[in-house]
Amino acid sequence: MPLDIVPSVCPHDCPSACALEVERIDGNRIGRIRGPASQTYTHGVVCAKVARYAERQHHPDRLSQPLRRIGDKGVGRAAFAPISWDAALDEVAEQLTRSVQRYGSETAWPHFYGGTMGLVQRDGLQRLRHEMRYSRQHSTICSALTDAGWHAGCGFKRGGDGREMAKSDVIVVWGGNPVSTQVNAMTHITIARKARGAKLIVIDPYRTASAAAADLHLAPLPGTDGALACAVMHVLFKEDYADRAYLARHTDDPLGLEAHLATRGPAWAAPITGLDVDEIVDFARLYGRNRRSFIRLGYGFSRSRNGAAQVFAVTCLPAVTGAWQYEGGGALLSNHDLFPLDRTLIEGLDVLDPATRILDQSRIGPILAGDRRDLGDGPPVTALFVQNTNPMVVAPESGLVRQGFARDDLFVCVHEQFMTETAAMADIVLPATTFLEHDDFYTAGGHTYLQLSRAILPPHAECRSNHDVICGLAHRLGARHPGFELNPIQLIDHTLRASGLPAVSDFPSDGWLDCCPPFETSHFMDGFGHADKRFHFRADWAALGHDHSRLGTFPDHFPVTDDGDPQRPFRLVAAPSRSFLNTSFNNIPSGIAREGRPTALVHPEVLAGLGLGDGDRLRIGNRRGSVVVHARGFDGLQTRVVVVEGLWPNHAFEEGIGINLLTSADPGLPCGGAVFHDSSVWLSPA
Residues of this chain that interact with ligand SF4 (CB under 6 A) are 10, 12, 14, 16-18, 46-47, 50, 182-184, 581
CA–CA separation, 10 and 463 (whole Å): 19
CA–CA separation, 403 and 401 (whole Å): 5
Closest C-alpha to 147, from 383, 312, 12, 385:
312
C-beta of 442 vs 535, nearer to ligand SF4: 442
- Closest distance of CB 446 from ligand SF4, Å: 8
C-beta of 594 vs 640, nearer to ligand SF4: 594
Contact status, residue 19 vs residue 512, Cβ threshold 8 Å: yes
- Closest distance of CB 11 from ligand SF4, Å: 8
Residue 457 CA from chain centroid, whole number: 28
- Closest distance of CB 589 from ligand SF4, Å: 18
- Closest distance of CB 14 from ligand SF4, Å: 3
3-state DSSP assignment of residue 505 = helix
C-beta of 14 vs 320, nearer to ligand SF4: 14
* Whole-angstrom Cα Rg for the chain: 24
- Closest distance of CB 436 from ligand SF4, Å: 13
C-beta of 39 vs 495, nearer to ligand SF4: 39
- Closest distance of CB 35 from ligand SF4, Å: 7
C-beta of 139 vs 182, nearer to ligand SF4: 182
- Name the packing angle between helices 466-477 and 85-103 (round to 10°): 50
Residue 301 CA from chain centroid, whole number: 12
Contact status, residue 257 vs residue 554, Cβ threshold 8 Å: yes
* Type of residue at 646: G
- Closest distance of CB 163 from ligand SF4, Å: 15
C-beta of 24 vs 523, nearer to ligand SF4: 24
135, 70, 458, 491 alpha-carbon torsion, rounded to 10°: -10
CA–CA separation, 473 and 467 (whole Å): 10
CA–CA separation, 575 and 477 (whole Å): 41
CA–CA separation, 185 and 333 (whole Å): 12
C-beta of 384 vs 581, nearer to ligand SF4: 581
C-beta of 236 vs 444, nearer to ligand SF4: 444
Contact status, residue 202 vs residue 196, Cβ threshold 8 Å: no
C-beta of 12 vs 157, nearer to ligand SF4: 12
- Closest distance of CB 350 from ligand SF4, Å: 32
CA–CA separation, 273 and 479 (whole Å): 53
The pair phi, psi for residue 384, each rounded to 5°, is -120, 135
- Closest distance of CB 143 from ligand SF4, Å: 16
C-beta of 290 vs 388, nearer to ligand SF4: 388
Show the DSSP H helices in 262-363 as ranges: 266-273, 277-289, 307-321, 344-347
Closest C-alpha to 108, from 117, 96, 98:
96
Rounded (5°) CA angle 259-171-220: 60
- Closest distance of CB 550 from ligand SF4, Å: 35
